[in-house]
Structure 1
């Protein structure tokens, strides 16, 4: 496809622009060539990008941060082209399976064992490492454990004599009650693909039957799955304007600017609520486990491209240094540390008022299915969900269409032999 090839060349040009100095000498990259990193962007990852830039003295790390969908798109284009313009790649618990399955990442097991004592890597529990294993091999250094929890305006709830909702039904009623022309009853983040999948994950796991059965057959279009998206459709009637094109940044802003009373958002956005330079609701928002639980938990980490020309030990040292316990303690206000020594430190719970809500949410949160094609299928699923929410299709018909499209995709990849 000519248009796709043009887009691929443009994307590779963007990825390679900062790497233009990586001229080859005798078939190897010059030692002074900057390390190229591409990443999703939110406050915790911005913090870690800064730590990577100063991780190894004399080594320049060019950190390119952008919204998730764009980072995933550019990483996919660069890695699928076997380009050496990327060295360090952001991956979460879903994208890592796609990248690893395609042979785009370097297994880290040997490096992990070699540097375990130097960087106290035993401090990372297996629950933090497991999402980053594919076919038994480890591919990422964890930097952040994230979980979606319930943000709510404590002052508004107290004035109304209300408690945080415990069920989806209570949540819908409160969204309706708090909804005014000046302030939405709730935020909704339904920009394709990632944001919609996050919201749908909560509904499918709380009201529905999840995403797939044990044989990777879709179950999100079950009777309960239809009820889940019908509930989502109803709640959008009390959401902020532009919810269909809103992702994490836009929803965070809506809460910060007193444009919504409550809603689902990532733990990594809690500190932003109390930032006096950006927020109008400082000390007015509290956090709890979401109604019904079963929100998404995710891990944010960094992998090494299989096609890098940099020294893998140097790249691993950058990742291990940036994810030190000291750095996690320093950034604890904006991240959920995957190291046990930090996450379970009772002093952090006293110091940061969001920690009790985070720990409560982690009790019931579930990751997305470990399916390498999950986001690829998400293109079908999110389109159909948005058609259902907008009234362009009946909910049952929309989910059946998404299930059929997903089944066709997975069948073509050999899942149902």
Structure 2
């Protein structure tokens, strides 16, 4: 499907509205909801797969059926955007990455949820959701998403291999420096044994991985005048560092997405993965499919050392939420379903049964969960060392454009410095086309801050 332009995004924009009273989820559905069928367009990952498996339970409780349509990561955004731009009533809710929120809310066709959240009251307990999660799914001061799962990139490593090699892991609250990590990766690559891998597909993923290093090295995406700075010295340093790590990865890793990177670790082909999304922990811990289940441990991202005083590498703040198109014919029922998916009991169940990271503070901070799941304390530490992508309608498009150029540089199509120059020019041209004040901004903060 062709990429949407901003003109497409804002075609038919109307003022953000609200709906009538949306009831908080109850164990028994009102009579008028019985016979309702909700249609969902979702990205399949451990969280949504767990919810999909619970749909018969929801139908039994409420009488509401849910038709579940899945789209791969590379297609989900374009499909959802097409529905919003066309203002169809085909779907009643989406699952949305925070990186897509600006683009989708920018159409004016997502439902603002402040009113139903307020009406749901203490039964829903909006304030229990982690502040960063609420912030990620807000656009221009309004809430548009119910946070479904938190997510962050961390470092996964084989504890048995590290123990055998005598490699010490930094205590919680500190990270390996970038030099230390490169040394470890080199050391563990022996003969045909590759030592590391990570995702670089689709193109947006390449930007994500590069951005972690960029921000840890003190870089930024724009200067104070709104000039793109993707080709800064920190940008080139980050691209070159990631490319050097690839020398110790499987030869075909430039095609690796989340699934391929994690499967390489599950098969024992690599012994580290940095970065690895926390949402993919269930894959490597699957005792039926993973050869390394129980052997993997986690630490924070290994990018300390570039900026004085920075003890932990920075990670992209990430998560998924349920959003509701304005055109949905069943807005109240869609909100009720979203609320049902994120109750405190269900979020606790997701952690204990499927290793899904929660979005509620009360669940995330349960001591018994921290004791049982060794990755939760690490995740909490990493969540305290994050950065956010700008929440603007163009950001998803920027991720793809920049990622394609960086990926091309890593593949050797042209030098990395040229790749970043090309990326910077593409972003500059895009923002000027959309009438951003590139190079002339004088505000105390950037427009989206």
Q: How does 1:53-92 map to 2 (within 5 A)?
A: 54-55=57-58, 57-92=62-97
1:31 Cα deviation after fit: 7.1
Gaps of 5+ in 2: 4-32, 170-174, 304-312, 439-449
Compared with structure 1, are the counterparts of its residues 127 and 379 closer, same or farther at alpha carbon in structure 2 (3 Å cutoff)? closer
Q: Conserved in 1, the CA contact under 8 Å of 2:34 and 2:63?
A: no
Q: Conserved in 1, the CA contact under 8 Å of 2:139 and 2:391?
A: no
Q: 1:324 aligns with which of 319, 343, 346?
A: 343
Q: Conserved in 2, the CA contact under 8 Å of 1:208 and 1:226?
A: no
Supply the distance in 1 between the matched residues of 2:367 and 2:267 (Cα, whole angstroms): 32
Q: Partner residue of 1:142?
A: 147
Q: How does 1:358-397 map to 2 (within 5 A)?
A: 358-397=379-418
Q: Partner residue of 1:17?
A: none
> 50-59 or 71-80: which moved more?
50-59
1:46 maps onto 2:49 in alignment? yes
Q: 2:180 aligns with which of 140, 150, 170?
A: 170
Q: Partner residue of 1:129?
A: 134
Gaps of 5+ in 1: 6-29
Q: 2:118 aligns with which of 113, 120, 134?
A: 113
Supply the distance in 2 between the matched residues of 1:361 and 1:120 (Cα, whole angstroms): 25
Q: How does 1:152-301 map to 2 (within 5 A)?
A: 152-164=157-169, 166-207=176-217, 209-263=219-273, 264-292=275-303, 293-301=313-321
> 341-350 or 43-52: which moved more?
43-52
1:214 Cα deviation after fit: 4.2
1:154 Cα deviation after fit: 0.8
Secondary structure, in 3 states, of the residue corresponding to 1:117? helix
Q: Partner residue of 2:358?
A: 337
Secondary structure, in 3 states, of the residue corresponding to 2:58? coil
What is the total number of aligned residue pairs between the two structures? 391
Q: Conserved in 2, the CA contact under 8 Å of 1:69 and 1:194?
A: no
Secondary structure, in 3 states, of the residue corresponding to 1:142? strand
Q: Give the TM-score normalised by the residue count of structure 2.
A: 0.82
Q: Partner residue of 1:353?
A: 374
Supply the distance in 1 between the matched residues of 2:79 and 2:177 (Cα, whole angstroms): 39
1:34 Cα deviation after fit: 2.4
1:241 Cα deviation after fit: 3.4
Q: Partner residue of 1:24?
A: none
Q: Partner residue of 1:314?
A: 333
Q: 1:305 aligns with which of 303, 325, 328?
A: 325
Supply the distance in 1 between the matched residues of 2:429 and 2:34 (Cα, whole angstroms): 47
Q: Deviations over 1:244-302 (max 9, x none)?
A: 11111111111111011101111112232221101101211100101121112212111
Supply the distance in 2 between the matched residues of 1:51 and 1:341 (Cα, whole angstroms): 23
Q: Conserved in 2, the CA contact under 8 Å of 1:68 and 1:194?
A: no
Supply the distance in 1 between the matched residues of 2:380 and 2:45 (Cα, whole angstroms): 20
Q: Conserved in 2, the CA contact under 8 Å of 1:387 and 1:398?
A: yes
Supply the distance in 2 between the matched residues of 1:247 and 1:212 (Cα, whole angstroms): 27
Compared with structure 1, are the counterparts of its residues 92 and 228 closer, same or farther at alpha carbon in structure 2 (3 Å cutoff)? same
Secondary structure, in 3 states, of the residue corresponding to 2:320? strand
Q: Conserved in 1, the CA contact under 8 Å of 2:154 and 2:276?
A: yes
Q: Give the TM-score normalised by the residue count of structure 1.
A: 0.89
1:104 Cα deviation after fit: 2.1
1:120 Cα deviation after fit: 2.8
Q: Give the RMSD, CA atoms, in angstroms.
A: 2.1
1:345 Cα deviation after fit: 0.9
